[in-house]
Structure 1
Amino acid sequence: MRAKSLRLRLSIAASLSLCVALVLAGVALVALFERYVIRRVGVELDTYIRQLAANVSLGPDGALQLGRPLADPRFDQPLSGLYWQIVEDGAGVKLRSRSLWDHVIDLPNDEIEPGIAHHHDLPGPNGETLFLGERRVNYATEGGNRRLRITAAVDRNEILEARTEFAGDVAASLAVLALILLASSWGQIAVGLRPLEALRRNVNAVRAGEKKSITVDGPEEIMPLVAEVNSLLEAKAKAVESAKARAANLAHALKTPLAILATDAERLRKDGRDEIADELQELAFGMRRHINRELSRARLQSLAGSPVQATPLRNVVESLTRALMRTPRGGALSWRLDIPADVTIGMGVEEATELFGALLENAVKWAATEVHVSAERECVLSILVEDDGPGVPPEKLVELGQRGVRLDQKTEGTGLGLSISSDIVDAYGGQIRFGTRSPHGFQAIITLPA
């Protein structure tokens, strides 16, 4: 699964790259430290070899002897890991450190130039690996030159232990450095993405109607996006205005023909031609219904980008209730409003009036004795409009809100009221559901952002 968060993607990429870089740096540092230690140990071994060469002398009987022992006490401790020995060509081992005990370092049979230091890895007295340095020294005597191989060696485990300790110290230091660098990279990511947050706020402001275009002054990488979005907003605004103009022109152009059709239908009915009159009246009624629908859709399209208003819900519902109570049907009903005075709805008065006007007119049309409207605001705003009429069969509820659907063809209406209500609620990011009131009746449940 791909991470959908840009911040998360950048954080993961930064974390992985930092980890890889620090691991490689740690490996390189450990390798460099090991090389340094080997060179340093090699220098120390060469120092021991030079001290041995300077202190070797010939006794009266011609035997080799060491005038002064080396200062490091490990040479006197058996199998301490630090050794020396002197080998004479053709005569074998002549002198060796006490640390070798009864062991001998088995030197390779290779030619070594006099005075040149050589370093090898050879098996030690306990099977360990020794890091060994040696030189060939020539001693001139009355009997001729005596060729000596002077060797000093150290257990390579000491080098490995030093490397291991250094690697542990480096790992701890790099871990702390990794945390510092990760925190720094996360801060850089936050700073780098801040223009996108500003862009998001501008887009929200445009959608809420507070602005008509994006005015963020961001880095040059996002300005092409800002320009494209502004162009899109401008094109959408022009398209909405064009749609509204076309709908208005259509309504104006058809107003006179519809009036003529209605007049002709009445004349035909007076002449006793009821069948033709009914056909013309139904034709005019259908055309008027479609015109109203298109005008409503054009106005709803213009809601996007309009300023968000806070309309007191109780005022709107009370105004509609007073108007409906003047009608014969509305005056015979009992009205119950449970709407707190501080509850507001996030739409204009005109849209709120049309929304609840359609719902209340539907309730008045079907109610037997009562219409009930209630509202409560928590995380969202929930509004309930219900009546105690015959209700709608459960299998027919799904059809409500569809354009022009009328479940009862005998009752006067266009079938557009609930459909327009659904469109208004959708335009403001809400939902509307239709259900059955218990024990009988109809209810519309509206859910809108608080």
Structure 2
Amino acid sequence: MGNSIRFRLWSAAAISIAIALAIAGVGLRYLFELNVERRVVSELTVDLNELIGATKFASDGRLSVESTLADQRFASPLSGHYWQVEDLATHSLVRSRSLWDATLTLPERAASGELRTEELKGPGDELTVAVVRTITDADGRAFRAIVAEDHSNVEVSVGEYVRDLAPALMVLAFALMGAFFIQITVGLAPLEGLRVAVRDVIAQRMARLDVAAPGEVQPLADEINRLLDAQEKALSRARSRATDLAHGLKTPLQVLSADIRTLREKGETKLADEIEKSAGAIRRHVERELARARLAPGVSGRAACRVREVAAGVVAVVKRTPRGKQLSFLIDAAEDFMAPIDEGDLSEILGNLVENATRFAKSFVRVGASANAGEVVLAVVDDGPGIPEADRQAVLSRGVQLDSKGGSRGLGLAIVSDIVEAYGGRLTMANASPGLAVTIYLPRHG
């Protein structure tokens, strides 16, 4: 999972979204708190101006407030809303009823008329937001007025805002994750297309990568195609060498056969039999390599042929043999039934299987073709003695010969096994009660 690009992108997206939303949440909370404080200061300024307008110096020089503020919270003890006026000459105080017997600690004296915003301690040492202004009248008498509000009111508003903001941020997180999902899916789609194309090459449905990739991925596809081309050339050279070697051995084998006949004519039967046995083993190897060499490098799954037509051609040849004339043949395949295999390779498969079946059958040989989910099934069945279960795997091995009649049932099945494997298929053998049933399963393409 840790090596998955999708997992890495999802991890990066989740971390990025979490960090971004955390920063956004903190920033929005700060901005909202700042805005609430500005609103509170604005409201307090209105109250301050009303307080200043109601503050007078009496004829005896004492400071008085002619009327209380309209907000009734200033009349409720410890309500969180306070005002206070100080005579700067006598330091006498006039306070709101909400302060009860407490006093607001006033800041240093400011310039006359200057409005200042302060954070002061309230009656219960709570933090308050306050606005302060110093006023000097025409007679040179000065007083300082202050209106304050408990800062907890701001914190309550901010808390309510954060509670409302959290669900919205969660919805935004899901929306962003959805957007990232679309982005990751779209971004990785070319890689998925490349993976499918590589799978088609591996399954031999295509010889090269035929995919329209974006600029970042196309160089990779081009390099893979160059690698496939080089591999195809290397396979072609290797198969050519194998073919040349096999053909090179055929001529000495023919000479050796002539020498064997000469030895028999001279009465050297035992020596001729030993040489013929060795020559037969070499011939079997040569025939197998020739059959394998006929498989083109990189078998294409796009090849297809009509099973009944190929089977009819094979049966027609076998029927002309002395053994074939004694048997009946049944081709159980529809006229238009197609198998995903080259016609020559299918002919090689059926030729070996039908020839082996003809050699051991008692009365009939049947060639069948059918289809199941994702596979084409080919079967050659005879009513001969069959092959013991213990020998069925061995008969597919290189150079194994189970019959002693001069034939080579093991070689034929080994060649068939090689061709089937090249097409990504599989071969099974089972008792046909009586006889042997050899079944080929070839994967369907497209």
Please tell me the TM-score bracket, short chain as reference. Answer: 0.7 to 0.9
Residue pairs, 1:30-429, within 5 angstroms:
30-59=29-58, 64-77=63-76, 80-86=79-85, 94-100=93-99, 102=100, 104=102, 107=104, 112-115=108-111, 117=116, 119-120=118-119, 122=121, 129-133=126-130, 135=132, 137=134, 148=144, 150-156=146-152, 158-196=153-191, 199=194, 203=198, 213-214=208-209, 218-300=213-295, 302-304=296-298, 306=300, 308-381=302-375, 382-409=377-404, 412-413=407-408, 415-429=410-424
Output the CA distance in 2 between the equivalents of 1:317 and 1:79: 106
C-alpha contact 2:63 2:87 (8 A) present in aligned 1: no
Could you say what secondary structure the match of 1:416 adopts? helix
Alignment CA distance shift 1:83-1:372 (3 Å):
farther
| Structure 1 residue identity aligned to 2:267 | G
| Structure 2 residue identity aligned to 1:443 | A
- Which stretch of structure 1 is more off in the superposition, 90-99 or 370-379? 90-99
Could you say what secondary structure the match of 2:379 adopts? strand
Output the CA distance in 2 between the equivalents of 1:93 and 1:391: 125
**What's the CA shift for 1:263?**
0.6
Alignment CA distance shift 1:215-1:346 (3 Å):
closer
C-alpha contact 1:48 1:152 (8 A) present in aligned 2: no
Count of residue correspondences: 440
C-alpha contact 2:36 2:154 (8 A) present in aligned 1: yes
| Structure 2 residue identity aligned to 1:2 | G
**What's the CA shift for 1:346?**
0.5
Alignment CA distance shift 1:43-1:236 (3 Å):
same
C-alpha contact 2:304 2:342 (8 A) present in aligned 1: yes
Output the CA distance in 2 between the equivalents of 1:196 and 1:202: 10
**What's the CA shift for 1:213?**
4.8
Q: Does 1:2 align with 2:2?
A: yes
Could you say what secondary structure the match of 2:397 adopts? coil
Output the CA distance in 1 between the equivalents of 2:76 and 2:334: 96
**What's the CA shift for 1:38?**
2.5
Could you say what secondary structure the match of 1:84 adopts? strand
Q: List alignment gaps of at least 5 residues for structure 2.
A: none
C-alpha contact 1:42 1:119 (8 A) present in aligned 2: no
Q: CA offsets per residue over residues 372-396 of structure 1, 9 Å max, x none?
A: 4443323222333333433334343
**What's the CA shift for 1:29?**
1.8
**What's the CA shift for 1:313?**
1.9
- Which stretch of structure 1 is more off in the superposition, 160-169 or 269-278? 160-169
Alignment CA distance shift 1:28-1:132 (3 Å):
closer
Output the CA distance in 2 between the equivalents of 1:334 and 1:90: 136
Identity of aligned residues (%): 38
Could you say what secondary structure the match of 1:429 adopts? coil
Alignment CA distance shift 1:448-1:214 (3 Å):
closer
C-alpha contact 1:240 1:298 (8 A) present in aligned 2: no
Alignment CA distance shift 1:161-1:333 (3 Å):
farther
| Structure 1 residue identity aligned to 2:318 | L
Alignment CA distance shift 1:121-1:357 (3 Å):
farther
**What's the CA shift for 1:7?**
4.8
C-alpha contact 1:400 1:434 (8 A) present in aligned 2: no
C-alpha contact 2:118 2:132 (8 A) present in aligned 1: no
**What's the CA shift for 1:305?**
5.3
Output the CA distance in 2 between the equivalents of 1:51 and 1:344: 100
Output the CA distance in 2 between the equivalents of 1:87 and 1:392: 119
Q: CA offsets per residue over residues 232-252 of structure 1, 9 Å max, x none?
A: 122122212212321232233
Q: List alignment gaps of at least 5 residues for structure 1.
A: none
| Structure 1 residue identity aligned to 2:391 | K
Could you say what secondary structure the match of 2:148 adopts? strand
